[in-house]
Amino acid sequence: MQYPEPIAKLIDSYMKLPGIGSKTATRLAFYTIDMPKEDVGDFAKSLMAAKNDLHYCSICGNITEDDPCDICRDKNRDQSTIIVVEQPKDVMALEKMNDYHGLYHVLHGVLSPMEGLGPDDINIKSLILRLQKTPVKEVIVATNATPEGEATAMYISRLIKPAGIRVTRLAHGLSVGSDIEYADEMTLLKAVEGRQEM
């Protein structure tokens, strides 16, 4: 038996989300159908608002409604330190520890030859240009502890070190293969405090 077309399309739409297989997508589709019409309307509006109203900060690449983002506009933050992360969700995870008061730079990915991602495919050029214009003393590389994250960290370090900028890496309080966004605040704090020269 085939589902009516609107349900089949809804299931297909949910399956486009990462980690959602056909069973979960089917469950979500039927849950959505049972929701009050106003809640479904609000859900659809939230999706469209997130897609239409959010963009990337022209300075750091973080997701924002305003350009530049709140963090880049905040003159009370330490302008001499930049943490380089893979994704905007990593910025949110680091901000939760409430102990880092510098700036960020979001790469929007990592170097991955297997996936065809090279230096021109992620946000590295704007980092180098930013460092040429701003008196930064330290760049903390906070890519994930994966082979791709490590390769990206080493590549960034080799680009930046000749400029005399200190390049550090988060300490390996984060387990290898884990993602920053899933670490608790204390683990992140210890990782930032225990960073080491590259």
Cα–Cα distance measured from residue 41 to residue 190, given in angstroms and rounded to the nearest whole number: 43
Give the distance between the most distant pair of CA atoms in the chain. 67
Cα–Cα distance measured from residue 49 to residue 95, given in angstroms and rounded to the nearest whole number: 24
Domain ranges of the chain: 5-53, 70-197
CA of 173: how far to CAs of 88, 179, 190, 192, in Å?
A: 21, 12, 7, 9
- DSSP state, 124? T
Supply the CATH classification number for the domain 5-53: 1.10.8.420
Residues of the chain with pLDDT under 50: none
Cα–Cα distance measured from residue 159 to residue 31, given in angstroms and rounded to the nearest whole number: 50
pLDDT at 178: 76
pLDDT at 172: 67
Q: Which residues contact 3 (CB under 8 A, 6 or more apart)?
A: 11
Is the pTM value of this prediction over 0.85?
Answer: no
> What does 135-172 look like in DSSP terms, one character per residue?
---EEEE---SSHHHHHHHHHHHHHHGGGT-EEEE--T
Residue 141 phi, psi (nearest 5): -90, 115
pLDDT in tens, 76-114: 999 999 999 999 999 999 999 889 999 999 999 999 988
Domain 70-197 has CATH 3.40.50.300: no
Residue 132, classed as helix, strand or coil, is helix
pLDDT at 182: 81
